Structure 1
Amino acid sequence: MDEHEFLAERFQEHRDHLRAVAYRMLGSLTEADDAVQEAWLRLARVDTGEIANMGGWLTTVISRVCLDMLRSRKSRREEPLDTHVPDPTVTSADPAEQAEIVDSVGLALLVVLEMLSPAERLAFVLHDMFGLPFGEIAPIVGRSPAAAAQMASRARRRVRGAAVPDADLPAQRAVVDAFTAAARAGDFEALVAVLDPDIVLRADMGAGPSRLVRGAKTVAGQALLFTQTGAPTAHPVLINGVAGLLTIVDGQPFAVFSPVVRGGRIIEINILADPERLARLDLAGLVS
């Protein structure tokens, strides 16, 4: 094994961790992969003999790459943050495969992370999700450890507002199934009954007109309107580890529907219906 192969093997040992950090930092699967690739390129350009802790060094590098990407994105972002839905991870709802979902972060939480400043997001993700001490986070954001701790604290207060689903996956699925059945039947009252009165629906349409809708009756009306267009077919899936739906129109993925179920009702719905972004997701095995 030559030196390049040995280095690639060492990097591979940390790839899953680096991608997990990048996904939580960026909320984009393609950008997370780009960040991991950039971390590899930077590793290949340095004298690895001077790296005492490969995992720590790579975490620092991927964090700096993501911070730069977040700052660049913030300066050019055009779509409103309140209707932006991060990339979901969509997997089979087959119970035999659910054991593989061991490290998911909820889509609703990623939505809230989008509202943070780049430095706040980095401080929160690295400390609260990955346990990095503020002494290691501080140089990445160019602040003191105390200032980095304050950033994470501000982020934590915002994150407390994230919709948290009940942990019971079968109970989640039962509520989502009830929603689907009511929508198919055109039963407005049954739809309202399964929705929290203060529900928020966020629909990211990409280049199309995105929507932010509040209130059970308004959301129920939108659901009935959707079922009347294009005869969509809804496939049960897991979205970031919780019960959701992949809707298909004319044999093609149309939208990823990610509800948050708590106390037997849906309190939030995040929908990604951006054709370009859906095309980049790995949905092929879920459409047949």
Structure 2
Amino acid sequence: MTDHTTPRHDESDAGLDALISERRRLIGLAYRLLGSLAEAEDAVQETYTRWYAMSRRQQDAIASPGAWLTTVATRVCLDLLGSARVRRERYVGEWIPEPLPGRTDWIGGRPGTTVTGSTDPADRVTLDESVTMAFLVVLESMTPAQRVALVLHDVFGYPFAEIVDMTGRTPAACRELASSARRRARAALPPETPAAHQARLVREFKQAWEARNITALVGLLAPGATLTADGGGMVPAVLHPIAGGEGIAHYLTDLAVRAAGSLRLLERPVNGRPGLVIEHAGVTVAVYAFDVADDRITQIWVMRNPDKLRPWTADSHR
């Protein structure tokens, strides 16, 4: 008996592989929009659920499944961003984005494309800087529409004509949203610091902290430096940012004294930048991300919320 379904089966396998290959890019998009890997994974799962809820005829009628998945994922993220603002109003303490271990090239942008529609090639956000903690924090200050327009255009290279379908705005409105978001980001972010230079400062910071050397810590911190911690109400963490290099130095030294040598400080990449991982009895209990300007540490973000440390419980950061 002749099996007439084999060609169709092969075609289905190829289509399935193409759909699955989109997942990493979609998670990268959703992570930048939501600032949470867990929420990004949920958004992408919901996107695929909607795809497979359609009939085969409906799926075949879609000319570009990748574009369809991107559009739906973006809309899911927009819905989540709306509800997230309400949830974060009830959040205990400060909310900061979820840090990622190691390299971040696995959540890269749209392959094989370049940003279009920009009169100045410098008016774009690079893939590397789009996942730094500093940039993700700036995204949190933007409206959901600004965030979507900036990330889709500047990071993932989508022309404004395509972003229209994802946001329901006109191309001109999308262009203005991206432009205003870009201005806000450029005003808030310091000039890029070479990774080797930041790594040296982080290493010296680690050594000074381990030695409980307040003078050395103050020298490494900018006078107007800020430390922000996120415990989510689940573990002890400062509820409000600590401002000033001296205040931060004293706070960290007090932590070291109370820990009495029970903590292990490890130099590890955090969102692609030099950072620190704090372990207790072999378990990650905190992740420190840094921002540097003018040879000083200007910002420290401390993640203590166990739910947001989930990616660090595996050995991927070693």
* Partner Cα distance (1:66, 1:149) in 2: 20
Which of 33, 58, 61 aligns to 2:69? It is 58
Retained in 2: the 8 A contact 1:251–1:287? no
Counterpart of 2:154 in structure 1 is 128
* Partner Cα distance (1:281, 1:206) in 2: 17
Counterpart check, 1:274 vs 2:275: no
Give the unaligned 5+ runs of structure 1: 92-96
Which of 213, 232, 239 aligns to 2:263? It is 232
Counterpart of 1:83 in structure 2 is 94
For the aligned residues, what is the CA RMSD? 2.5
Mean CA deviation greater in 153-162 or 235-244: 153-162
Identity of aligned residues (%): 38
Q: Given residue 279 of structure 2, which amino acid in structure 1 is its aligned partner? A: I
* Partner Cα distance (2:147, 2:104) in 1: 29
Length, aligned pairs only: 282
Counterpart check, 1:71 vs 2:82: yes
Say if 1:287 and 1:18 are closer, same or farther in 2 by CA, change over 3 A: closer
- What do the CA deviations read for 1:227-264 (whole angstroms, capped 9, x no partner)? 12223210111001110010012332111001112332
Counterpart of 2:291 in structure 1 is 260
- What do the CA deviations read for 1:142-183 (whole angstroms, capped 9, x no partner)? 222222222222222221244447443222121111111111
* Partner Cα distance (1:27, 1:161) in 2: 20
Retained in 2: the 8 A contact 1:82–1:202? no
Retained in 2: the 8 A contact 1:195–1:265? yes
Mean CA deviation greater in 164-173 or 197-206: 164-173
Q: Given residue 143 of structure 1, which amino acid in structure 2 is its aligned partner? A: R
Counterpart of 1:94 in structure 2 is none
Which of 130, 135, 142 aligns to 1:116? It is 142
* Partner Cα distance (1:145, 1:80) in 2: 35
Counterpart check, 1:246 vs 2:254: no
Q: Given residue 244 of structure 1, which amino acid in structure 2 is its aligned partner? A: G
Give the unaligned 5+ runs of structure 2: 1-8, 109-126
How big is the shift at 1:42?
Answer: 1.6
* Partner Cα distance (1:90, 1:147) in 2: 36
Please, what TM-score do these two structures have when normalized by structure 2? 0.80
How big is the shift at 1:55?
Answer: 2.1
* Partner Cα distance (2:267, 2:18) in 1: 38
Say if 1:99 and 1:43 are closer, same or farther in 2 by CA, change over 3 A: closer
Q: Given residue 286 of structure 2, which amino acid in structure 1 is its aligned partner? A: A
Counterpart of 1:219 in structure 2 is 248
Counterpart of 2:4 in structure 1 is none
How big is the shift at 1:66?
Answer: 0.7
- What do the CA deviations read for 1:30-84 (whole angstroms, capped 9, x no partner)? 1111111111112213322112122222211111111111111123322579932
Structure (1 or 2) with the larger CA radius of gyration:
2
Q: Where does 1:21-32 land on structure 2 (aligned, <5 Å)?
A: 21-32=29-40
Which of 263, 284, 288 aligns to 2:314? It is 284
Partner SS state of residue 135, structure 1: helix
